Amino acid sequence: MFCSSPEEHVASEGSPTSLSCGYTGSIYNVQWYRQQHGSRPEFLLHITESGSIHPTRSDFSAHIDKTQKRGTLLISSAAVTDSAVYYCAVAPTVTGNTRTLYKNLQYSTAATRGPHSLLNH
């Protein structure tokens, strides 16, 4: 189970843009975070395999392509303030003996670091 994404992304200010994250295996959701310079990582949203997005936001949205195994973060209007390192993480689908779920409520996530920059051009 892993996420992969490009190393760098450049977008024009005011334009919509997107960042993608590939994964392997079966997943429950794809989560998106960003870390602006000098700050802690900030949770943006997650999208479930069925396409439900939580929380809903006006500035960010997401899409999941189960066939190509890609999650995409959509930024409605790129701004210089969106310049950050963006992270995707996946939560795997629980399979096998479902009784185990009640004994272990934790699930693991896998994430990769992809330094995406949104620059003013």
Q: Which domain holds residue 96?
A: 3-114
pLDDT for 94 = 61
pLDDT of residue 6: 59
Say how many domains are in the chain. Answer: 1
Give a yes or no: residue 109 inside a domain: yes
Query: CA quadruple 101, 56, 29, 80: dihedral positive or negative?
Result: negative
pLDDT at 101: 45
pTM of the model: 0.73
Instruction: Indicate whether 72 belongs to any domain.
Output: yes
Looking at residue 11, its pLDDT comes to 87
Q: What is the pLDDT along the chain (121 residues), one digit of tens a residue?
A: 455 655 678 889 999 999 998 888 888 899 999 999 999 999 999 999 899 999 999 999 999 999 999 999 999 999 999 999 999 988 876 655 444 444 444 444 444 444 554 544 4
Q: Rounded CA gap, 111 and 62, in Å?
A: 17
pLDDT at 8: 78
- In whole angstroms, what is the distance from residue 110 CA to residue 56 CA? 23
In CATH, what number is assigned to the domain containing residue 28?
2.60.40.10
